Structure 1
Amino acid sequence: MTLPPPQLSRPRPARHQPPHAQPPPTPGALFRDRARSWLGPADREVLWLYLLTRLSLWVTAYCTRWLFPGRSGTREPDPVLASFEQWDWHHYLQIARDGYFPDQSGPAQGGDRDNREAFFPGFPLMLRAVHVVVPHWTAAGLLISFVAGAVAVLALARLARRYLPDARGERRTVLFFLLSPCAVFLAAGYTEALFLSLALPAWLAALRHSWPLAAGLTALATTVRVSGLFLAAAVALHFLLVARTRAHWRALPWLALPAAPAALYAWYLHAHTGDWLAWNHAQERGWHRTFHAPWDTWSVTWNSAFDRLHGTGYAFMFQAELVTMVVGLVLCVVLVRRRRWPEAAYIGLTLAALGTSYWYMSIPRSTLLWWPLWIGLASWSLRRPRLTTVWLCLVGPLSTVFAMTFLSGRWTG
């Protein structure tokens, strides 16, 4: 009589010995798991592209400090952070550090008249808050733009996902956006990245009919730039086009929320200056943003660009202003023809504001805020594959030139 072979079974643990328990996950592991569940592969690819372009801008900044130092003949370049301390940054820094009226005296009472009240308070307030943790002011500003830019490109990719059926569309959209001629302003301590990190999610919320969220984010965007009011108009128009049920119309009062930051800021300036239009008057004093007929504005800009009235640096920038105005007008016409009324209203209001001053100013920078442009280019490239190659070969070098122009302090000549 033979014994049966032993059964290959896992021995049971003794009753008095508890089974081995899994160790609790670390906070880092929990964060990674949640990030992976929220960020899909396409999102991670977009962020990787964003990081690579940030690295390329820092390489450009390093080279610029050596090739174009602030002082001729110097043997030691300025710190690389100094490359980003240009133009409007000084206004944001002064507001964040000293406030709008450090001596409790507005322009009407003999203040410093640097026209800092022309800048909305959203970015300076954020800069002051981050400065509590990051002592270096410039580093704090760059950190704000870095984080906000990441949020903006993710939102832009998800917007493209809603408009473009091809999965390649969102990556193309972000690629065209990050290699645009004025992309350097997304990395600098300027308002573009912070504005987009609020405006693009606001538009996403509007497309999903989440009206309280859309209104709240638009209101926050309005604290950063006056362009938030143009976005509010687009959100309101979209609401009117899609609202059908009584439940939709109950959200109508939310659409007034974006006007609150502008009204509060006007009240604050009036309390210090006695002028309800102090913001507009500061724009007029500092940047010649007085109202002119559009054809007069075009004529002045054209003469400044080609009639040798200014140095070559200034003339080149005026030429860029003219080109981007034409691009904006073409974009607006395309949006109208496709019956994209809210986006057309947003672009049209932007062009109306920038195209009725004494001359064109800041239109190239404003293209960063025109998300229909980047989604439209991506859609076009899906039908015309060579467009991507043309963009990389022509606009890529132009982006480097613009970046070096800004980083060397030669942006306006």
Structure 2
Amino acid sequence: MGDGRPRSAVGPRERLGARVDAARGAVGRAVTRVPAPWPFVVVVFLGTKIVLSLVGVLALSAFDEVPWAPPPHEAMMRQQQREVSEHRWLSLWFAWDSFLYDHLVQQPLDEPWRGFAFPLLYPFLAKPLALLLGGRTALALLLVANVAFLLMLYYAYRLAERLLGDDAGARRFVRYLVLLPAAFLFQAALTESLFLCLALATFHYAEERRWLLAGVVGYFLGLSRSVGFVVVVPLALVLLRQHGYRWRPRDLARYVRVGWPLVLVPAGWLTFMAFCRWQGGDWFAYKHAQEKGWGISVQNPLGVLWHGLTGTGPRDALRVWLAVLVLAVLVAGARRLGLPYLVYGVLMVMVPLSMGPPVYKSLLRYLLAVFPVALVLAGWARRATADVWLSAALALLQGALFVVWLAYWTHFII
């Protein structure tokens, strides 16, 4: 031994301590080899998953003690969850559209397609994965959503590092992104994490002037959700900003030469329309399916916003007031955001509202796409005191909404 004592003089406690120190050092060296920001991203991913899963199981156990929770006419959702898994920490992440996507994953392409109301990307990503998982399509959907959530956090950090200028700001942005009121849905078997992952990645590559890669990722963004194709507008503004918003003829030629991959963004949605034509003989089969199934029709979003505030009950008004608050934060932080991200944020509020009053029940879900709100909050919370209070308030609000979402029979968030 280095201290001159014989090996036999070293007690079990000292040997155990030496092993612990050696293991700790090995873990530390392994972590330092992992490139930033992955250690931070993984900690946020696992931390939110553990906390929300624990809260979810406790809330559902508490509901078990309430005779009317859920009411008899709403028992189907609980049965569908049990069919996914008997483990509540797993099955609680399936609700509403999760089961419709699960049906699409199981639907073979050699039979007439019946799911035109939903874009292709999410169920099509789960199809090959389900084969590797022994046909467990629901688990495949959940895995796709959570891998997208993890990548979403990575691209959020990278984009904020460039836009906010430092590591601390990027970390705050990631944290506020997972503290948004309905951010627990990033972990559910829904499209929220996939859409935002692709949106953040597209803007990240655009800011790096890697326009071909931005266009390719943007293609899948346009294929993931109907609102995806309008992201071409703020992306074009990023391109214009990078060249000083100049409009001379030679500058216009440069915009075309550099930014032509942006046409791939609307091409993603056109691909879905072509699929509708191939499978259903109708380019607008998705539109007709939404009109028939949910009464969705294109309307003036300002009229829908006003109707939600004045012409409906308090629950719809509360949802719409949250949309107004999001718009207010965007306007207040407009100078910090810049024109491209201000336009993106406004579009992500207004385009869903253009679907008409049926959007009210899902509005909190759709507002998750407005990531510039978290950018504004990250900029405002540079002081530690403001950061702590704002984080605590958002955590409490999200916790309350999470429990309300688990009480799915309220139809407050669907």
Same fold (TM over 0.5): yes
CA distance in structure 2 between the aligned counterparts of 1:248 and 1:204, rounded to whole angstroms? 18
CA distance in structure 2 between the aligned counterparts of 1:358 and 1:248, rounded to whole angstroms? 36
The answer for unaligned runs of 5 or more in structure 1 is 1-31, 107-115, 307-314
Shift of residue 247 of structure 1? 6.3
Shift of residue 139 of structure 1? 2.2
Tell me whether 359-368 or 124-133 shows the greater mean CA deviation. 359-368
The letter for the 2-side match of 1:96 is V
Per the alignment, residue 403 of structure 1 pairs with 402
Per the alignment, residue 104 of structure 1 pairs with 112
CA gap 1:191/1:303 in 2 versus in 1, 3 angstroms:
same
Identity %: 22
Per the alignment, residue 331 of structure 2 pairs with 333
Q: Does 1:56 align with 2:51?
A: yes
Q: Does 1:82 align with 2:78?
A: no
Per the alignment, residue 224 of structure 1 pairs with 224
The answer for unaligned runs of 5 or more in structure 2 is 1-27, 244-250
Shift of residue 37 of structure 1? 5.2
Structure of higher RCO (CA pairs closer than 8 Å, 6+ residues apart)? 1
CA gap 1:275/1:34 in 2 versus in 1, 3 angstroms:
farther
CA displacement, residues 196-233 of structure 1 (integer Å, 9 cap, x when unaligned): 22221211110011100000011111221123212222
Q: Does 1:125 align with 2:124?
A: yes
CA distance in structure 1 between the aligned counterparts of 2:163 and 2:240, rounded to whole angstroms? 20
Q: Does 1:92 align with 2:101?
A: yes
TM-score in terms of structure 2 length: 0.78
Per the alignment, residue 347 of structure 1 pairs with 345
The letter for the 2-side match of 1:268 is F
CA distance in structure 1 between the aligned counterparts of 2:33 and 2:394, rounded to whole angstroms? 35
Maintained 8 Å contact 1:84/1:138: no
The letter for the 2-side match of 1:261 is G
CA distance in structure 2 between the aligned counterparts of 1:43 and 1:170, rounded to whole angstroms? 13
C-alpha RMSD of the superposition: 3.0
Per the alignment, residue 385 of structure 2 pairs with 386
In the alignment, which of 266, 278, 296 is matched to residue 289 of structure 1? Answer: 296
Per the alignment, residue 8 of structure 2 pairs with none
Shift of residue 366 of structure 1? 2.3
Q: Does 1:67 align with 2:62?
A: yes
CA distance in structure 1 between the aligned counterparts of 2:317 and 2:355, rounded to whole angstroms? 16
CA distance in structure 2 between the aligned counterparts of 1:401 and 1:237, rounded to whole angstroms? 37
Maintained 8 Å contact 1:141/1:188: no
CA distance in structure 1 between the aligned counterparts of 2:302 and 2:119, rounded to whole angstroms? 29
Shift of residue 294 of structure 1? 3.7
CA gap 1:341/1:392 in 2 versus in 1, 3 angstroms:
closer
CA distance in structure 2 between the aligned counterparts of 1:66 and 1:255, rounded to whole angstroms? 49
Structure 2 counterparts to residues 128-139 of structure 1, below 5 A: 128-135=127-134, 136-139=136-139
CA displacement, residues 28-81 of structure 1 (integer Å, 9 cap, x when unaligned): xxxx999865622x441232122111111111222233222466799x995313
- Higher CA-based Rg: 1
CA gap 1:125/1:387 in 2 versus in 1, 3 angstroms:
same
CA gap 1:379/1:225 in 2 versus in 1, 3 angstroms:
same
Shift of residue 259 of structure 1? 1.9
CA gap 1:267/1:305 in 2 versus in 1, 3 angstroms:
same
